[in-house]
Amino acid sequence: MLPVLNFAGSGEELRFRDMVETLAQAFHLTAEERSELLPSGSAFLFDNRVGWARTYLKQASLLESPKRGVLRITDRGKAVLASHPTRIDVKFLDQFAEFREFKVRRPEGGRIDKAASDASRQATLEIETPEERLATAYKTVRANLQVDLIEQVKSASPSFFERLVIDLLPAMGYGGSRQDAGRAIGKSGDGGIDGIIKEDKLGLDVIYIQAKRWEGTVGRPEVQKFAGALQGHRASKGVFITTSSFTREAEDYANAINTKIILINGAVLTDLMIDHNVGVATTGTYELKRVDADYFEGE
């Protein structure tokens, strides 16, 4: 927040976009750092943090917006800079009544107990924007869901795991219809091949499947056996799915050979199940919205 206020210290009217770009240069951010997204993928991380710094400073009446998209330092902001603070954070802004009111304000105009909320929210407010806190919570919920999913899959029968693969691959766009996938998976059993599935609905190419629940880590010999089976069928593409994980040697081998073999371990499997709604149910949906600048363009 201090760099944002310093940038506005000249007293001139400034565009927010210019502020973002100038601060990015001042921090010597690389192109990779500038392109880093929030965990939700909804916005650039740096832009989002500058945006929330602007919001907090405005709520503390250190900045003002004389018109849309434009910022200007206030007399209070100038006084703060004149005191030469070494850091401006949420604790610093708490000295201003307007900011304290902002922290306990509910969107619908209600109130929450300040004493009960401040202690639990103070630390996270200082280091994360609201979007980041929401994204962090989402990642925690998703990680717990992955643990629960893999436990369920490992405890299920081999036939259920086969059905899971039949459900997942068509949901990802492979295998044509679910009926096609059901006929293909589990019917081969030929030299390490558990099934053959269409790559697309037209069947322009096929993918050979090895799908096994596994207790220990899958090593290179198993992957090499699968690769040999593919060569025996003159196949160029294969997917090896397991509930376990692969050794480094197995991964290196799959990456080194000409035959394209995709290794899907338990973590990737649960990621795909969540992303494609296989074995999971939606318990709630939250939409993040922002002001539509185009709507107010003619104002």
Share of the chain above pLDDT 70, in %: 84
Give the tens place of pLDDT for each residue, 152-184: 888 888 878 878 887 888 888 886 666 665 555
CA 67/CA 65 separation, integer angstroms? 5
pLDDT tens readout for residues 109-147: 344 344 434 444 444 445 678 888 888 888 878 887 888
The secondary structure element, H or E, covering residue 36 is: none
What Å distances lie between residue 139 and 39, 90, 144, CA to CA? 8, 25, 9
Q: Write the single-letter amino acid at 173.
A: G
pTM comes to 0.63
pLDDT band at 290 (very low <50, low <70, confident <90, very high): confident
> What is the fold of 152-275?
Trna Endonuclease; Chain: A, domain 1 (3.40.1350)
Task: Sketch the domain layout of the chain as residue ranges.
Answer: 2-128, 152-275
Mean pLDDT throughout 40-66?
A: 89
Phi, psi of 185 (to 5 degrees): -75, 135
